[in-house]
Structure 1
Amino acid sequence: MVVIESSDPIQAAEQIEGLHENHDIAKQLREVADRLAEQQANLFRVRAYRSAAQTIAHLPSPVRQILKNEGVAGLVALPTIGHSIANLIESTLRTGKMPLLDRLRGQNDAEHSFATLDGIGPQLSHRIHEQLHLETLAELREAANDGRLQKVPGLGPKRIEAIRNCLAYQDVGDRPIEASGGDVFEAVAIEELLEIDRDYRERAKDGTLPRIKLSDQDLQTEVWLPVMHTERDGRHYTAMYSNTAHALVHHATHDWVIIYRDDANAHGRWTVITSQFGNLNGLRIVLGREEDCLEHYRRDIYHHREAGHPPHPEFPTQWDEEVGRNGLRG
């Protein structure tokens, strides 16, 4: 039973509205759990979202108020709520959209969320999403603070500062948003990402993966996309082919693989493609991690030669260092 704390009619109405919002978020978290279960995700991951839904549904006060007063750290302090789910809730409260649920439904609304901010229109939102592979406003704020936004064409210092200020205070009073569990783009080993990419493409080819129907009004035909949920030492990943307009234009919907990390400790997104240039031509690379991929393939060739085995046939028999350095952008 929920007790309304205020005798003021306006404040009481706000609290009631906030509790209804709690139940809406809990409903979405339960749907996340249901869809993960349907897509054969790890049972513990499914249970994590069910437990989080239970926690939010039974809160005696609005979760939005907790975020306003204590930031994301206040959400993490709640029972069964980890960093990833806390950031998901924060993004949902700020945008009205739950990015993970949209993704599990076969939707991609990250660009729409970015375009709602002052100073970011549809075209700029598209460039940010395609170049930095950000999914949530929390990730966008981190990119504004750590310098990654400077890499996006059309974003100068003044506009980045305006975006940073907008994200710092939007919908959370005068308290900046807490940073998420950390930037995982460099923390995950390149070998792990390439292994997930290989496993996904092999299983997609074999037809052993569950499929989700894409919910894109621009698609003229019905499209079902294979999806893989997998785990590596407690790190949860989702892999699927890219269904973005950019991939469609480049006829790469069965080449570009998007890998998402979403677990209690961190989250992130990577795009794996087949390189078209230099010594990595024809090899799978992680965009933004080309130098790591170069070193990975060099080590692989070395280890095969040391063991007396020929390198993989797709590897170059001689490594041209100059071409390798200058021809990496796939």
Structure 2
Amino acid sequence: MGVEWKDNISLADALERVADLLEQQDAMPFRISAYRKAAATVGKWPDSVAELLASKGEAGLRELPGVGKSIAASIAELVRTGHLGLLQRLEDESSPEQLLASVPGIGPELARRIHEELGVRSLEELEQAAHDGHLEAVEGFGPRRGQQVRDLLAARLGRNRRGLARKQEQREEGGPQPDVGLLLQVDEEYRRRAEAGELRTIAPRRFNPTGEAWLPVLRRKVDGWSVRALFSNTALAHQQDATREWVVLYFDKDGDEGQCTVVTAHGGPLDGRRVVRGREVECLAYYGVESEETEAPPPGA
């Protein structure tokens, strides 16, 4: 069977989902950890894992850090068929009510009502309902519990990108980062090509109840840095209608990893210009603006 395109992010999400379901079913810790490690590797791998499979087969997949024989077979099945039997079986064994009841503050009875009244079947759908107000319409929910669920799911679903905390620590410790000029150039190319419809799109699990593949993805190798660009899909980006304005850039080079968000500045000497959040002074120099007083863009992108 021929190899079909499957984006690394989609593959990583599927492996993370397997790990989450194994964890819910009290599987052996080493098995859960194996799928999480493989997801982290695939998610940040600079080249197409699907193309690696096409050129080197499953043996090539086993060359990836943390990918053994069984997980390589799972990745191959995902790429070739678009489905994973293990994931389907785990999802079948995990009823929606059980999944919803795994969220602190939602017991079995409340989980049943949420599923029956709103048709919610996943944590991503639960998060959507918590943000659009539908969840608070269910008996037993009020504003305080709704906020609690939003906060819990923001933390729990954020595990799909487990490397982010480590990347943040590296930035705070002063690790190497790409020049702001490089980041702004990738940002410009990403937004231009996304507007023109030239980029491959994926269907994010969060805040996407219809499953639409709307999120463009750009990968670039520049000055030794591997950079991946996507529009922000955070709760705050949706609340402020900035999902087509805030751009998140993930970068790595020789083991140094990080991420940043590029936004449009409002007010101050950088008004109307694209700015790398947290590096406004460098952006002033890049644009040739003399004043060092900047107005920081909104937090939380």
Query: Structure 2 length normalisation: TM-score?
Result: 0.49
More RCO (CA 8 Å, sep 6+)? 1
Larger Rg: 1
Query: Structure 1 length normalisation: TM-score?
Result: 0.45
